[in-house]
Structure 1
Amino acid sequence: MKTLLVNCYLRDAEARLIYYRQMIEPYSQIVETELSALNPDFDLHNYNAIIFTGSQWMISEVEPPEPVKAFIRSLNILTLGICFGHQLIARAFGANVVRGELIERDEPIKIVQPWQIFAGFSGELVMRESHQEFVTLESVRAIGLEIGAVSRSCSVEAIRHPCRPIYGVQFHPERSGKFGAAFFANFYSLINPSN
């Protein structure tokens, strides 16, 4: 099994990528690439999953490049966007990303849809939050992405494409201990063994 880990960080990437690697390595080989390398012609033939990392990038200030957004819109393999990656996926499909209060804490996340990615969690889980931007609820509803989780600080904690295996989460499962580890186990359970 092979995962494309898309490094979206603008600085201090190596220290942050350690957490992603620790969560992914029990399930998959990892190939890393930079966000700027992505475009609709990027060859995904040998990959089973894609994970987009967090970032210091503020989408409300700097629009992601169109080739990157076109790449995301073309995806049809298991995909997970985390924090910035979640916002990037939502933006690629037309949702709005706005700046708000800086959130830096562990946050109870309420599950509102029984997706397989939340299997084993009893309605609520505690995950690390570290963000200042968020995807607006109205825009997510307008473009037809599904909402799977909410929190006190964010009305769109998890999204899913209605027809393709594309997910995004505002929280940081890679820095959320046992809850994060269980979340990654659920994510990798979604991969079809025949792929």
Structure 2
Amino acid sequence: MASLPLRIAILECDTPLPGTSSKYGGYGGVFTSLLNSATTALSLPPSSLSLSTYHVVTSPSNPTPTYPSLSQIDAILLTGSKHNSFDNDPWILKLVSFVEEVLRQRRVRIIGVCFGHQIVGRAMGTRVGRSERGWEVSVVPIELTEKGREIFGMKTLALHQMHRDVVFEYPDGVEELAYTDKCSVQGMYIPKRLITIQGHPEFNEEIVRELLVFRHQQKIFDDEVFEDAMARVDKYQDGVVVAKAFLKFLLE
């Protein structure tokens, strides 16, 4: 079992929209809020987490993104992103290479969410790309495998989704956790090594409403997708349940 505090490096793979950014300061802040809620739910002391944030997307204000030293952390957490996990932009290739480096060692563990889930799949040699089944957005019911029910302590999950890219197959040696009609690879697990989820446990109604309105205005979502998603945006979702599973995984 890992010792406390758990030193988690959050690799921010995108910048939130203005409303979310104003409230949380970035996706690192969104995940900090979620993980703190999970810490409370598990009755762990407030000092159980030591979180650091690294913005890994190259931009004029961030021309040479930095990465954590593996000797100084216990885990990395890869966030979601509007970018494509299958693209070959230099920062994406660097991120894949970094995950490959983490996979080659045995101590530092990996958590991947949405885009991060896909990057982990890519780093393990599995095909990622655009799904022909279209967008999966807003609160979606997720079926769990036997291992998934064990990991999450639930018969099924409900999570916010915001993707049309997928991991097409499970990499060798990975345990299957979850699936939906539109995405058969919803979660991956290797004990003491990695856990990933295609959904967004860190999202809440406020964050998703902002994304839906923006993407509808930008014509990314047509009226049908937008209206269907907005009808489900206020539904219950199991974000803290998944975050608790993340922390339990790190404590294995």
Per-residue deviation at 1:75?
A: 4.8
Per-residue deviation at 1:114?
A: 2.5
Task: Give yes or no for the alignment of 1:113 onto 2:151.
Answer: no
Match of 1:145 in 2: 174
Going from structure 1 to structure 2, the CA distance change for 1:114 and 1:146 (only over 3 Å counts) comes to closer
Distance 1:136 1:95 in 2: 7
Matches within 5 A, 1:17-56: 17-26=28-37, 27=39, 28-35=49-56, 36-38=65-67, 42-56=68-82
Note the alpha carbon deviations across 1:128-187, whole angstroms, 9 max, x for none.
1101200002xx25x3322111112110000123x6421111001112566111221222
Residue correspondences, number: 184
Task: Give yes or no for the alignment of 1:7 onto 2:12.
Answer: yes
Q: How much identity, in percent, do the aligned residues show?
A: 20
Per-residue deviation at 1:49?
A: 2.5
**Residue in structure 1 matching 2:185, options 156, 172, 176:** 156
Calculate the TM-score normalised by the size of structure 1: 0.81
Give the aligned CA root-mean-square deviation in angstroms.
Answer: 2.4
Which structure would you say has the larger Rg? 2
Structure 1 segments, 4+ long, off by >3 Å, are 10-18
| Unaligned residue ranges in structure 2 (runs of 5+) | 40-48, 57-64, 205-235
Note the alpha carbon deviations across 1:101-148, whole angstroms, 9 max, x for none.
1221211111103355312x1x201111101200002xx25x332211
Greater strand fraction, Structure 1 or Structure 2: 1
Task: Give yes or no for the alignment of 1:89 onto 2:120.
Answer: yes
Distance 2:115 2:71 in 1: 25
Match of 2:103 in 1: 73
AA paired with 1:109? I
AA paired with 1:29? S
**Residue in structure 2 matching 1:57, options 83, 93, 104:** 83
| Unaligned residue ranges in structure 1 (runs of 5+) | none
Greater helix fraction, Structure 1 or Structure 2: 2
